[in-house]
């Protein structure tokens, strides 16, 4: 397949290390601020998760990356081309809701989307992808005769048919059965291995945690999380410890390093006092009891997400966990008061934010 890219000259060099750079982008719709000064960078070739509740500004941010809307302020550089220039033929997009013409046949539709991406001879690529996603023989079927999962696969092929350098997937796994889910995950991972930068917007935190190297969370138009999954999970620890004594016996005495304890099934959940390290707490515990389990409790991405967007989050600044080129910076952003409280309590044992 020959993919001509006449836009490359005027879109700038795409050999940069960052596939997407957003600098202080702001977008308002009338009185409503959809995106309030977001800055982020997505390295080329990475698989980056975009998470955030509905109405948080996630879709607007994706639309700015797609050039569908322009930022009122700030800059959005995609594959080396800034806001005013096009990178559309190098960007693939799979929307959350199906963007397929119901009355078109599968191959006809894929040819059309390929033509819009300036792909001259798309048939071999279409055939290859149909086979790859176990959709051979669907060529002549009309879209309105396909199931939701089938449509999802066709939509995915439409997004990747032009071999994009940047692929934006909005909820790509919805409507898929476990078999097709794994099929699509495999395809996405293959694309990433081939060098495609992938932005995966999803509500499924488990998927984001498992698949993505990096995660960006947007909440109320602002970025509140940005970093590798490992960094976020490590930095988001509550500082609590989970232990189990031999035979499940209670602790005979409470060591001075433990401020509070509560029973959780067969485990004891301990809250260390002050800013003691886990090693110090372990040392004190083993002095008073025999332990058969010791664990530093780390919340999942799902729990972090829920805590950050909890309903009682009101108007207060909130922190931003960010990773910029390997540095571990903890920035203080602006979030709601309750969210701030929530996040403060979240990161309290770390002792170096919010104070």
Partner 1 sequence: MNLLVWHMRKTLVIAWREYRAMVGTRAFLIGMAVMPLLMLGALCVPAVLSGLPQPDIRRIAVMDQTGVLLQPLRQAAEQRNQELLAGTPDRSESGQSGMLSVLGIQDRHLYEFEELPTEGFDDSDRLLQSERIRSGALHAFLEIPGTVLRSSGRSSTTAGTGTLLMWVSEDAALSEARRWCEQLVDVLLLQQRLADTLPPALLPAVIGQLSGPAGIGPVGLYYRDENGRIQRGAQQTSLTALALPIAVMAMMFMAVLLSVQPMLESVLEEKTLRISEVLLGSASATQLMTGKLVGNAAGSMTIFGLYATGAIVAVWQQGAADRVPWALLPWLLIFQLLAVLLFSSVFMSVAACVSQMREAQCLLMPVWLVLMLPLLLWFTVIREPNGTLATVASFLPPATPLLMAVRLCSGAVIPLWQSLLSLLLMLVGTAFGIMTASRLYRAGILRQGQAPGFSELLLLAWRGEAGG
Of the ranges 14-22, 81-89, 180-188, 272-280, which one interacts with partner 1 (CB under 8 A)? 81-89
Half-sphere exposure of 5 (CA within 13 A, CB side): 19
Report the site for partner 1 in 117-146 (rule: CB under 8 A).
117-118
Which of 3, 21, 27, 138 binds partner 1 (CB under 8 A)? It is 27
Q: Please report how close the Cβ of residue 149 comes to partner 1 at its closest, in angstroms.
A: 17
Distance (Å) of CA 293 to CA 213, 279, 281, 296: 29, 14, 14, 10
Q: Please report how close the Cβ of residue 8 comes to partner 1 at its closest, in angstroms.
A: 11
Beta strands 291-296 and 18-29, pairing class: unpaired
Of the ranges 38-46, 102-110, 194-202, 266-274, which one interacts with partner 1 (CB under 8 A)? 102-110
d(CA 11, CA 308): 38
Task: Tell me: does residue 179 bind partner 1 (CB under 8 A).
Answer: no
As to burial, measured by CB atoms within 10 angstroms (0-12 exposed, 13-18 middle, 19+ buried), residue 1 is middle
Q: Please report how close the Cβ of residue 270 comes to partner 1 at its closest, in angstroms.
A: 46
Task: Tell me: does residue 74 bind partner 1 (CB under 8 A).
Answer: no
Which of 21, 110, 158, 225 binds partner 1 (CB under 8 A)? It is 158
**How many residues can be counted in the chain?**
355
Which of 46, 56, 59, 202 binds partner 1 (CB under 8 A)? It is 59
Q: Provide the 10 A C-beta neighbour count for residue 238.
A: 19
Task: Tell me: does residue 153 bind partner 1 (CB under 8 A).
Answer: no
Cβ–Cβ under 8 Å, residues 70 and 83? yes
Q: Please report how close the Cβ of residue 208 comes to partner 1 at its closest, in angstroms.
A: 22
Q: Which residues pair with 296 in a beta bridge?
A: 241
Q: Residue for token digits 């002095």? A: 287
Task: Tell me: does residue 50 bind partner 1 (CB under 8 A).
Answer: no
Cβ–Cβ under 8 Å, residues 99 and 155? yes
Which of 23, 39, 43, 63 binds partner 1 (CB under 8 A)? It is 63
Residue 222: alpha-carbon gap to chain centroid: 14
Q: Please report how close the Cβ of residue 34 comes to partner 1 at its closest, in angstroms.
A: 5
Cβ–Cβ under 8 Å, residues 160 and 109? no
Which of 13, 24, 73, 101 binds partner 1 (CB under 8 A)? It is 101
* Residues that contact partner 1, how many (by CB under 8 A): 39
Q: Which tokens in the block code for residue 297?
A: 């409790």
Q: Please report how close the Cβ of residue 286 comes to partner 1 at its closest, in angstroms.
A: 57
d(CA 272, CA 242): 11
Q: 63 or 141: whose CB is closer to partner 1?
A: 63
Of the ranges 116-124, 264-272, 301-309, 331-339, which one interacts with partner 1 (CB under 8 A)? 116-124
DSSP string for 228-287: EHHHHHHHT----EEEEEGGGPPPSS--TTEEEEEEETTEEEEEE-TT--HHHHHHHHHH
Which of 19, 40, 44, 69 binds partner 1 (CB under 8 A)? It is 69
Q: Please report how close the Cβ of residue 199 comes to partner 1 at its closest, in angstroms.
A: 12
Q: 29 or 177: whose CB is closer to partner 1?
A: 29
d(CA 283, CA 280): 5
Q: 35 or 313: whose CB is closer to partner 1?
A: 35
d(CA 332, CA 329): 10
Q: 88 or 323: whose CB is closer to partner 1?
A: 88
Residue 217: alpha-carbon gap to chain centroid: 7
Task: Tell me: does residue 213 bind partner 1 (CB under 8 A).
Answer: no
- Residues near partner 1 (CB under 8 A): 6-7, 9-10, 27, 29, 32, 34, 59-60, 63, 66-70, 86, 88-89, 91, 93, 95-104, 112-113, 115-118, 158, 168
């Amino acid at each position: 397949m020959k993919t001509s890219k006449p836009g490359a000259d005027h879109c700038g060099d795409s050999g940069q290390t960052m596939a997407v750079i957003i600098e202080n982008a702001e977008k308002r719709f009338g009185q409503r601020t959809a995106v309030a000064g977001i800055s982020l960078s997505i390295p080329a070739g990475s698989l980056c998760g975009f998470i955030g509740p509905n109405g948080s500004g996630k879709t607007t941010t994706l639309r700015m990356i797609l050039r569908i809307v322009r930022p009122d302020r700030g800059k959005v550089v995609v594959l080396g081309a800034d806001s005013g220039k096009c990178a559309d033929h190098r960007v693939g997009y799979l929307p959350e809701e199906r963007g397929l013409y119901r009355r078109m046949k599968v191959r006809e539709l894929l040819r059309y989307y390929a033509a819009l991406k300036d792909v001259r001879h798309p048939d071999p690529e279409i055939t290859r992808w149909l086979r790859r996603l176990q959709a051979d023989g669907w060529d002549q079927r009309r879209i309105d005769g396909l199931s939701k999962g089938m449509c999802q696969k066709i939509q995915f092929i439409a997004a990747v048919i032009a071999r994009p350098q940047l692929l934006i997937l909005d909820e790509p796994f919805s409507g898929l059965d476990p078999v097709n889910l794994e099929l699509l995950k495999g395809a996405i991972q293959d694309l990433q291995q081939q060098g495609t930068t992938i932005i995966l917007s999803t509500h499924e935190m488990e998927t984001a945690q498992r698949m993505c190297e990096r995660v960006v969370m947007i909440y109320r138009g602002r970025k509140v999380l940005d970093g590798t999954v490992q960094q976020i999970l490590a930095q988001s620890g509550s500082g609590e410890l989970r232990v189990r004594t031999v035979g499940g016996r209670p602790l005979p005495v409470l060591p001075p390093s433990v401020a509070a304890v509560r029973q959780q099934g067969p485990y004891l959940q301990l809250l260390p006092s002050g800013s003691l390290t886990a090693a110090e707490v372990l040392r004190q515990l083993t002095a008073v009891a025999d332990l058969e389990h010791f664990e530093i409790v780390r919340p999942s991405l799902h729990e972090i997400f829920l805590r950050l967007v909890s309903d009682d989050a009101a108007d207060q600044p909130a922190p931003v966990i960010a990773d910029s080129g390997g540095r571990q910076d903890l920035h203080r952003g602006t979030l709601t008061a309750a969210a701030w409280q929530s996040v403060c309590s979240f990161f309290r044992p770390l002792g170096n934010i919010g104070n």
